[in-house]
Amino acid sequence: MNSADGAAVVVGVDGSEPALRAVRLAAAEAARRNRPLRVVHGFIWPLLRVPVDQAVAGPPGAGLRHQAERLVADAVAEAEATAPGLRVTGEIIDGEASAVLLGETPTAVLVVLGDRGLGGFASLVVGSVAVQVATYADCPVLVARGEEHPGGPVVVGVDGSPTSRRAVAFAAEQASLRGTGLHAVHAYKHPASLGPGDMQPLVYDESELREEEQRVLAESLAGVHDRHPDLAVTHEVVRARPVAALTAASKRALLTVVGGRGRGELSGLLLGSVSQGVLHHSASPVAVVRAPD
């Protein structure tokens, strides 16, 4: 993640209610980090060669660009009301929403967006913009979905990959900033449940398998206590599909954190089958942390 001095939390807005929820989440996050908040709207209409300015004989406040200015101003006001004293700026950038937000990620500390929206934000169940930005962003991406469960931990999915170790580091920082605990979930499938095309041993020992999965979890959490000595850390190894295990844990979480790519089932898609599954089903906000390309 970008930790340069002055790096902002960036939130994408489109005038929808999910985007306003993202603004409130982003404002709280920026305040916790003592970072400025940058409100960004991707203004696609010039690319489509649609007239965007008010017609000479049109009513006051008409025109697509004026509407965009108003929705950004409303989002800035929402952020300021959520976190009084927060440094908030807003900008309209010509371009498609995903491209505009991805252009912000090299210099942002975090990008926040809603799970659904208007126009280009609404093509999938979670939203094409959320999936595209989480897949390619150069910084962590926080998607405002579900709800923050008061008193709950920050939940992180662990699979032993370098990506999941980055997710653990981000989740531990989040738990520390929020004054709550960290709960690590490592889910594994029994060899007998592998598909017919998968390699599987002729003989397996359940206790040895579980010991190996416990080792994976312990290695993934190594160093967390050194960096956050006061952080309460709990963990579980569960024999289940990762999406099901993390979705269940998200029902009591303040935040659920996943790696953008991982090992085994985590690497099924560009973003990762588990990451996409959690984005679609989590009961709490989801942060996706990618490994560098």
| CATH code, residues 9-144 | 3.40.50.620
131 in Cβ contact with 37 (< 8 Å): no
Domain boundaries in the chain?
Answer: 9-144, 154-194+203-289
| pLDDT reported for residue 115 | 86
In whole angstroms, what is the distance from residue 4 CA to residue 1 CA? 9
Q: CA-CA-CA-CA torsion for 9, 22, 143, 179, nearest 10 degrees?
A: 70
Q: Fold identical between 9-144 and 154-194+203-289? A: yes
Strands 141-144 and 286-289: antiparallel
**For tokens 């404002």, what's the residue?**
27
User: Bridge-partner residues for 10, per DSSP?
Assistant: 38, 111
Contacts of residue 180, Cβ cutoff 8 Å, sequence gap at least 6: 151, 152, 153, 154, 254
Question: Residue 11 is encoded by which pair of tokens?
Answer: 């939130």
| pLDDT reported for residue 44 | 79
In whole angstroms, what is the distance from residue 179 CA to residue 199 CA? 44
In whole angstroms, what is the distance from residue 257 CA to residue 154 CA? 7
Question: Residue 174 is encoded by which pair of tokens?
Answer: 């989040």
> Is residue 123 packed enough to be buried (19+ CB in 10 Å), middle (13-18) or exposed (0-12)?
middle
Q: Give the mean pLDDT per block of 10 residues along the chain (293 residues).
A: 72 92 97 97 69 52 78 97 98 93 96 74 56 91 95 95 92 97 90 51 67 91 95 94 95 95 45 83 95 67
| CATH code, residues 154-194+203-289 | 3.40.50.12370
In whole angstroms, what is the distance from residue 38 CA to residue 46 CA? 22
Question: Residue 163 is encoded by which pair of tokens?
Answer: 């990506």
| pLDDT reported for residue 78 | 98
